Structure formats: C-alpha cells, structure tokens
Amino acid sequence: MANLGFIGLGVMGSEMVDRLLAKGHTVTGYNRTRSKAERLIAKGMKFAESPREVAEAADVVLSMVTNGLALKGIAEGPNGFLAGLSAGKILVDISTVGPDLSREIAEKVRALGADMLDAPVSGSVITLQQGNLSVMVGGRVETFEKVKPILLDIGPKVTLVGGNGLALSMKIASNLSLAVQMLAFSEGVLLAEKSGIKREVAVDVLTHSAIASPMIKYRGPFVLQQPEEAWFDVNMMQKDMLLALDLGRQLNVPLPTTAVTNEFLTAARAMNWAKLDFAVIFDVLAKLSGIDTGVGR
C-alpha cells in the first residue's frame, strides 16, 4: 500500500482515485473545484488545498489535467507541486501534453532530487471502470519499476516505451486514430442511411463487423444518442489532434487523415458543439449530407 497524491479530479482522474482507494492506498487529492472531490472524500480520500500540499503529503504524486497550460499551472508558483517535491519523491503525470513540455518539467523535478514519469493512458471511462485501461510510460527504468505496481492498480497493461516524453509521443500517435476512425465510421453510417437503411441497423451491423475496433464498439452508438456528459469532448480531442499535427511537422511525417478530421472538429466548434463528445463529428457530416440530426439527441 502506497502513500499517494492525485492532482486533477476530472472524469478520468476521479475514477482512477476511486480504484486506488479500493486497492487500499492512501490518497491525498486536489482539484480546483472542491465539489468534484466530495464523493471521494466520503470514501476516504484526504483533500489538500493546493498541488503543493499534495506533493508535500505524498511519496508518489499522480497528476492529470486538461492541457499544457493547466500542467504548468499546477507545477509552478508558490502553490505548485514543484514547491512541494523533495528528494526521493516521484511525479507521474498522466496528462496528454506536448513531449517537449513534459521533458522541461521533468528536468525541474530532477533538479529537486525527485523524478518524473509521463504516463498517459489509452481508453475511456468505461474502459477504466471495466479494468481494461492501458498505460504508456516514459522515463527512467528504475523509477518505472518503483511505480509499476501502482499503475497496474489503474489498468492491467503498463508498458515502458522509452525515455521521458516518448510515452506522450505514443499517446498522441494513438489518439489521432480515435477521431479519424470516428469520421470513417460516420461516413459508412451515413452512406447506408441515405441508401434507405435505418441508422440503428447500420450502427448495429458496423459495430459487429470487421471494422469494429474497441473504440467504435463503445462510441459508435453515440451517433444515435450523445451521452449526457461527454466522455471526451470536441475541444479535448482537437487539442490532441493539434499536438499530432505539430509533432508531424517536427518529424516530417505527413498526417493527411488527421488534418482532414481536425477540420470537422473545427466545424463542430463553429456549430456550438464544442462541449459534446467528439462523436458529434457524425452530426457535422450528417448536416453536410442534408440530414439535420438536431442537438442533444
């Protein structure tokens, strides 16, 4: 059992803390909005008033925030986790941010005598709840071995892919396919629908066909009904697509399907659908196809 800290109690972060508490770990958590932490406090999580307090209280600190700006926000300043870290402690950042920023923060962490891993995850809330989440890790082998048992309590597949920042490169390479697959799936559904096949039937056939990846199986039905709360909204998905396009430019790797799909996310934002799950790119394509699906189906 470990003495853990967790910064960022959003949809995924709170589910991770839930699992860690269930495994018997001590967890000190922080979230900018305390109300989101209440159910975890009721289950035994200690609440801290700042990222610094979390870092001071825990031996291993996990963080999961929305983007690079948010990561810098919880890292820097008098109340940031850098001010609370000390020799021997470990920071595991689960956020999806640019590899260069992650390496920059890792250098600052190591200057304090602590160490840092980037450990983004692949999967959704459902994947996490089912215990099927996979974790990619970048950093030193010896630090990875120390925290691997903790990460295995979050998900059953934990892989060290290389040095600091490389897990983020792997995550970005993986995430671009989510939206690309969703757009291709939407094309198939709409082609079937405008041929005279009911949308529900098309979705049922396609989600049980050779093209049905795990993501398509759980997100495909969203073209029939958006979830009440977005699992991964348009803004979050576009953030990852832009990270991919930026990395592609740096490495001279053309990303044509990523670029096209990114434009559909921009269109979704223009239609005021930024806070809906990114599966709403189906509705964007439907509109272009002469079908008005309505908002909040």
Residues 161 and 99 sit within 8 Å (Cβ to Cβ)? no
Task: Map residue 58 onto helix, strand or coil.
Answer: coil
The b/e string for 198-235 (b: 16+ C-beta within 10 A; e otherwise) is: ebeebbeebbeeeeeeebbebbbbbbeebeeebbbbbb
Check 146, 171, 194, 198 and give the catalytic one: 171
The dihedral through the CA atoms of 241, 164, 131, 56 has a sign that is negative
135 closest CA partner among 113, 146, 150, 114: 150
Dihedral sign from CA coordinates of 168, 243, 15, 127: negative
The span from the CA of 83 to the CA of 78, in Å, is 6
Give CA–CA dist 48/29, Å, rounded.
Answer: 6
Q: Is 239 one of the annotated active-site residues of the chain? A: no
Return all residues near 230 (Cβ < 8 A) that are at least 6 apart: 275, 276, 277, 278
Q: How far apart are CA 138 and CA 170, in angstroms?
A: 9
- The residues assigned a catalytic role are 171
